């Protein structure tokens, strides 16, 4: 028997608009003693079925999976993953339609109507990150669906949910392989992927996120198109995606800065892997903000500011906005006349409007004339559910500084 969740009177309005979350304050009662990760059916105060999803104690009590229940059909997971794959085919990201790009995000949580689940595809290897108890407990169904979807092209499935799934749910967390084919070799340094013709080594076992930051794919390509002859400073560079794109695009000089030596080491491998000249590149393992403050004015005419999320929760939002303002104000002060700044925020709690106003304040502090050339966001394989605008987490501006 599937447990039932009954809503308070009038609290079904957001579900009528297909929002994928039910907050704890909207719940009137529960029947069937649901446990964390269980599939539950949701009913209005009048007893009318409205949706089914994963239950979890906390602020977000139910993450909606379907409005077509009750319950989940037997083919739910394979149907959901095929639907997501069809979108990536439409975006020309699958190998058959674009052999120059062999990595993409297959499932992007709420954007693919699977809240709490991230699946990244790395040329035969799928990396799973569960952000909810329900998705973590569904790993067997997800594994079977991926095997059905990719067939013999699937080399391995790696579950990297130890840092993302909720620990309070008492889940047996650990980063493990859920599946390995006979053809899979675990010598990770030899498993490369292509992004717009550039080669990268996805470090899914020990790297950040699932191994690469796939959401910046199109923004890296844009930077490469603007890099010819430029002197670039890439701050918070991680494994150097922007740096590699700039070097390939003909940058005269690239300085890459990150506090992680492991990230810098991986960047150096990417330079060699792509056959790029090392004499145009220098790396620095140090604090990015300190490096920027100590840089001479006019040393760079292209700067990338792609920091980690300064705010992961609403209560840290104001502190984050101040950090973005300080960082960008120094960049405006240091960049050469006629230079371009690519500046980003990946903090979901910081809205596009908040970020733009913060950058406006930073520009005003610098006293420079600044023009917005483009507004950027995450790559289209990180879609935003129109009923869940909170999913637009990556904000970016391309700025011309006179």
The percentage of the chain sitting over the pLDDT mark of 70, rounded to a whole number, equals: 96
Higher-confidence residue of 341 and 319: namely 341
The tokens of 303 are what?
A: 């700067």
For residues 376 and 257, give the distance between their C-alpha atoms in angstroms, rounded to a whole number.
22
173-185 average pLDDT score: 85
Going by their DSSP bridges, the two strands 339-345 and 49-55 should be labelled as unpaired
The confidence score (pLDDT) of residue 206 equals 86
Give 4-66's CATH code, choosing from 1.10.3720.10, 2.60.40.1930, 2.30.130.10, 3.40.190.10. Answer: 2.30.130.10
Mean pLDDT, the chain, as a whole number? Answer: 93
The confidence score (pLDDT) of residue 370 equals 97
Beta bridge partners of 199: 194
For residues 312 and 28, give the distance between their C-alpha atoms in angstroms, rounded to a whole number.
29
Higher-confidence residue of 381 and 169: namely 381
The structural domains of the chain, with segments of one domain joined by +, span: 4-66, 76-190, 213-401
Q: Which fold has domain 76-190?
A: Transcription Regulator spoIIAA (3.30.750)
Residue 353 has pLDDT above 90, yes or no: yes
Q: What is the pLDDT of residues 24-65, one digit of tens each?
A: 999 999 999 999 999 999 999 999 999 999 999 999 999 999
Beta bridge partners of 52: 41, 66
Across 142-176, b (16+ Cβ under 10 Å) vs e yields: bbebbbebbeeebbbbbbbbeebbbeebebebebe
Using CA atoms, how far residue 120 sits from 36, 130, 214, 311, 338, in Å, is: 25, 12, 8, 24, 38
Q: What is the pLDDT of residues 277-335, one digit of tens each?
A: 779 999 999 999 999 999 999 999 999 999 988 867 777 888 889 999 999 999 999 99
What pTM value is reported for the model? Answer: 0.94
Going by their DSSP bridges, the two strands 39-43 and 117-122 should be labelled as unpaired
For the chain, what is the radius of gyration of the CA atoms? 23
Q: What is the pLDDT of residues 94-116, one digit of tens each?
A: 866 678 999 999 999 999 999 99
Q: Which fold has domain 213-401?
A: Rossmann fold (3.40.50)
């Amino acid at each position: 028997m599937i447990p039932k969740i009954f809503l308070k009177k009038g609290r079904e309005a957001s579900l009528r608009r297909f929002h994928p979350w039910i907050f704890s304050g909207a719940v009137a009662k529960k029947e069937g003693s649901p446990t964390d990760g269980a599939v539950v059916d949701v009913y209005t105060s009048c007893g009318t079925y409205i949706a089914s999803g994963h239950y979890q104690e906390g602020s977000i009590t139910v993450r909606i999976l379907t409005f077509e229940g009750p319950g989940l059909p037997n083919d739910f997971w394979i149907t959901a993953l095929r639907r997501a794959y069809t979108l990536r085919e439409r975006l020309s990201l699958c190998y058959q339609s674009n052999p120059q790009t062999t990595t993409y995000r297959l499932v992007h949580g709420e954007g693919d109507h699977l809240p709490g689940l991230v699946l990244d595809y790395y040329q035969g290897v799928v990396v799973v990150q569960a952000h909810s108890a329900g998705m973590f407990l569904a790993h067997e169904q997800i594994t079977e669906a991926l095997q059905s979807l990719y067939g013999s092209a699937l080399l391995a499935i790696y579950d990297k949910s130890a840092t993302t799934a909720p620990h309070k749910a008492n889940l047996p967390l650990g980063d493990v392989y859920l599946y390995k084919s006979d053809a899979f070799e675990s010598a990770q340094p030899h498993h490369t992927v292509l992004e717009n013709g550039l080669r990268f080594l996805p470090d899914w076992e020990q790297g950040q996120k699932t191994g690469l930051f796939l959401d910046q794919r199109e923004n890296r390509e844009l930077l490469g198109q603007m890099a010819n002859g430029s002197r670039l400073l890439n701050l918070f560079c991680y494994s150097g995606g922007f740096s590699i794109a700039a070097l390939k695009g003909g940058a005269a000089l690239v300085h890459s800065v990150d506090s992680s030596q492991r990230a810098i080491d991986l960047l150096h491998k990417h330079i060699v892997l792509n056959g790029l000249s090392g004499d145009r590149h220098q790396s620095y393992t140090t604090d990015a903000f300190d490096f920027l403050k100590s840089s001479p004015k006019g040393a760079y005419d292209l700067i990338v500011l792609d920091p980690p999320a300064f705010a992961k929760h609403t209560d840290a939002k104001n502190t984050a906005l101040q950090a973005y303002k300080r960082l960008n104000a120094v960049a405006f002060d240091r960049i050469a006349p006629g230079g371009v700044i690519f500046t980003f925020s990946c903090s979901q709690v910081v809205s596009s409007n908040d970020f733009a106003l913060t950058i406006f304040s930073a520009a005003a502090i610098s006293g420079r004339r600044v023009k917005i050339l483009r507004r950027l966001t995450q790559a289209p394989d990180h879609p935003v559910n129109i009923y869940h605008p909170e999913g637009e987490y990556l904000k970016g501006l391309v700025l011309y500084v006179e």
